[in-house]
Amino acid sequence: MDLSIHNELAGSNLRAMPTRSRWEVITEWPLNIAAVIFLIAYAIPVANPDAPEWLLLTCEVVVWVTWGLFAVDYVTRFVLAHDKWRFFRSNLVDLAAVVLPMLRPLRLVRLLSLLSILNRTATQRLHGRVVTYTVGAVSLLVVIGALAVTDAERGVPGANIENLGDGFWWAAVTIATVGYGDRFPVSPIGRGVAVALMIGGIALLGVVTATIASWLVQRVADVTEQQEIATREQVDVLASELAEIKNQLATLVARTQFEGELTATGDPVSTG
């Protein structure tokens, strides 16, 4: 299809959408890019708190600017929503990320929107979707958990998660529900992050298990269907062969009867 025609069709489809849906389509990729920028700006001070002052200040400004973009997006979608109560109930995570900016680790919940990209860019095959979504979701949750717990625990008396390396180790064993116990959060926010990461890990494991089970059932159904098709083809071949044998027998019987009649009348029987 010609590119201009494709763009025209896409534009007409976009104009046909409700205002809120049109806003979400237009702002989806810019906001996801802003979320990645936000992640980088948030991670630099957590990973290197002794970075130059100008860099830390720049990161803080970027964090607040991107937070402002998220706030504008939430307010706009709320205003454009026809059922505002339903929108409110369906977007509590976005609301928490917007109205609680002073709790720095909570800002990271906005990054969960990046999971939608993984879901759309995954291959159409179910196995590919499982692999892509699982790897992406686990990686994102580990990064979010490590940054959040390191930020929350730094400087807290009695804390044993002292740097980002400790945070990543703790996040990895927590989401895997292993829990060695050598690293653990002591602050209220850090423990809240731990609970959220545990729930996320268990939920993700359940989703993956259910998806794999569904894939296996589908595979068995496909194999059964292929076997049924092969069986039907074999039955058709046998039926065709039986019909041919039946025709040959009918011909042979008719010829035998004809030869018998000729013999009875005394006419010579040709053997051609």
Give 193-222 pLDDT, tens digit per residue.
888 888 888 877 777 777 777 777 777 777
Model's pTM, two decimal places?
0.62
The answer, yes or no, to whether residue 52 has pLDDT greater than 90, is: yes
The answer, yes or no, to whether residue 267 has pLDDT greater than 60, is: no
Query: Which residues are CB-contacts of 186 (< 8 A; sequence separation ≥ 6)?
Result: 153, 156, 158, 159, 160
**Helices marked H in the chain:** 3-16, 19-47, 53-80, 84-90, 92-99, 115-121, 126-153, 164-175, 188-265
Confidence at residue 9, expressed as pLDDT on a 0 to 100 scale: 42
Q: Considering only CA atoms, which of 141, 120, 140, 139 is closest in space to residue 129?
A: 120
CB contact at 8 A, 41 and 35:
no
The answer, yes or no, to whether residue 155 has pLDDT greater than 50, is: yes
